[in-house]
């Protein structure tokens, strides 16, 4: 079977040089907000792979990009806008995420009474919508993130109305946090809770509402500016170390692309329009195929052995690795993930999950446990 366009694009060099050579005229006007074309990014294959796999399969748990300033981390995330696939949104007013698929699989008992009634009247329970990129500002307040009282309604009508926060708006979308290591701890804890549970509850006096909040969590950070708490780091499925380009020619290409984008973003986007549409179609195809992709016995054995040898404690390691392997297989138009798929994503999924301090703690605890067991056994013998 020939390799899919999606993986071929990721594994080959960027077509940027050809585009630059063809572009002889620049429009010196201002850019109008066009996103930088994903395919115009030079190098950084690991970052590209991680980002695309995460939108093919949100169950991976998102991506954390770790690198110095000016290495295109934020540019890469924002360039995904034109590639994001369609997602299914439940129209359930009771917050139970009722869908037609749930009824097909488990019958009417799988949805709430209200949605069962709607289904009986042949009303739609879901709608298709393109996944969106939602950015969380670094100065966001807790009420901005989880939602709060609409002050205008309170002042004008004397009524308390709770507005949705960014986490509710991010349901089934991609939530991007730039400089995630600098985010306020209270805000970050709220995001972690929502990410872990898939929903969150806002309570303001006697009023409370529960919102669905299942999103692809994507963050970027510069390690020079501080680290992340281990419990936060553990929430990101894939971790990418983003370094500057080593090849001088690639660095100059990146400079040329950046210059051209600033001078004429529309022209640069037009050059990559056809290839971008093709890649977006491949991503949608992979996302549609994903539910049927299974892990082969060989892939399971290989993956678990890697985790065992790496002495990784967190069970999220397997989740990220095997879900990424499934997405990698889907990207190659296959419904069986092989050991090669596991090997292709293992570094991304397992990086920074080893913990020397934890290993030291367990070793010390084992010594203590053996001493205590010896005392307990001697008491029994007596």
Q: Could you write out the DSSP letters of every residue in 103-161?
A: HHHH-GGGS-HHHHHHHHTT--SEEEEE--EEEEPTT--HHHHHEEE-HHHHHHH----
Could you give the CA distance from residue 77 to residue 65 in angstroms, rounded to a whole number?
Answer: 10
From residue 218, give the alpha-carbon distance in Å to each of 86, 148, 151, 336.
Answer: 18, 24, 31, 27
316 is catalytic: yes
Which of these is catalytic: 17, 214, 243, 316? 316
Closest Cα to residue 90, out of 81, 80, 100, 82?
Answer: 100
Q: 55 and 82 in contact (C-beta within 8 Å)?
A: no
| Residue indicated by tokens 């949608």 | 284
Tokens at 169, concatenated:
């708006």
| Close Cβ partners of 252 (under 8 Å, ≥ 6 residues apart) | none
| Close Cβ partners of 294 (under 8 Å, ≥ 6 residues apart) | 326, 335, 336, 337
Q: 161 and 204 in contact (C-beta within 8 Å)?
A: no
Tokens at 229, concatenated:
């708490």
Q: 292 and 334 in contact (C-beta within 8 Å)?
A: no
Closest Cα to residue 83, out of 192, 169, 5?
Answer: 5
Could you give the CA distance from residue 42 to residue 17 in angstroms, rounded to a whole number?
Answer: 9
Q: 330 and 286 in contact (C-beta within 8 Å)?
A: yes
Closest Cα to residue 319, out of 298, 303, 343?
Answer: 303
| Residue indicated by tokens 């010390």 | 364
Could you give the CA distance from residue 249 to residue 257 in angstroms, rounded to a whole number?
Answer: 12
Could you give the CA distance from residue 134 to residue 177 in angstroms, rounded to a whole number?
Answer: 9
Indicate which residues carry an active-site annotation. Answer: 316
């Amino acid at each position: 079977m020939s390799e899919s366009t999606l993986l071929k694009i990721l594994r080959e060099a960027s077509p940027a040089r050809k585009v630059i050579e063809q572009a002889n005229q620049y429009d010196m006007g201002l850019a109008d907000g066009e996103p930088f074309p994903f395919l115009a990014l030079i190098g950084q294959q690991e970052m590209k792979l991680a980002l695309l796999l995460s939108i093919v399969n949100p169950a991976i748990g998102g991506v954390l990009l770790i690198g110095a300033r000016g290495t295109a981390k934020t540019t890469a995330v924002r360039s995904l806008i034109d590639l994001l696939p369609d997602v299914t949104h439940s129209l359930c007013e009771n917050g139970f995420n009722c869908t037609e698929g749930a009824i097909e699989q488990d019958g009417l008992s799988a949805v709430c009474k209200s949605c069962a009634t709607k289904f009986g009247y042949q009303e739609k329970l879901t709608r298709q919508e393109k996944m969106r990129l939602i950015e969380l500002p670094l100065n966001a307040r807790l009420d901005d993130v989880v939602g709060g009282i609409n002050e205008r309604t309170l002042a004008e009508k004397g009524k308390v109305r709770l507005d949705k926060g960014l986490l509710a708006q991010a349901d089934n979308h991609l939530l991007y946090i730039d400089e995630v290591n600098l985010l306020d701890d209270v805000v970050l804890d709220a995001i972690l809770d929502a990410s872990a549970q898939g929903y969150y509850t806002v309570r303001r006096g006697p009023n409370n509402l529960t919102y669905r909040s299942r999103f692809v969590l994507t963050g970027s950070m510069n390690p020079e500016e501080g680290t992340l708490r281990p419990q936060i780091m553990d929430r990101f499925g894939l971790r990418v170390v983003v370094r500057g380009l080593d090849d001088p020619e690639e660095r100059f290409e990146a400079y040329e692309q950046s210059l051209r984008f600033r001078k004429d973003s529309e022209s640069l986007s037009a050059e990559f329009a056809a290839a971008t549409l093709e890649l977006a179609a491949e991503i949608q195809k992979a996302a549609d195929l994903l539910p049927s992709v299974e892990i082969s016995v060989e892939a399971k054995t290989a993956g678990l052995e890697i985790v065992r040898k790496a002495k990784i404690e967190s069970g999220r390691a397997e989740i990220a690795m095997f879900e990424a392997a499934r997405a990698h297989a889907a990207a190659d138009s296959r419904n069986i993930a092989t050991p090669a798929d596991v090997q292709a994503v293992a570094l991304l999924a397992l990086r920074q999950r080893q913990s020397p301090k934890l290993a030291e703690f367990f070793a010390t605890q084992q010594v203590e446990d053996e001493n205590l067991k010896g005392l307990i056994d001697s008491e029994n013998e007596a």
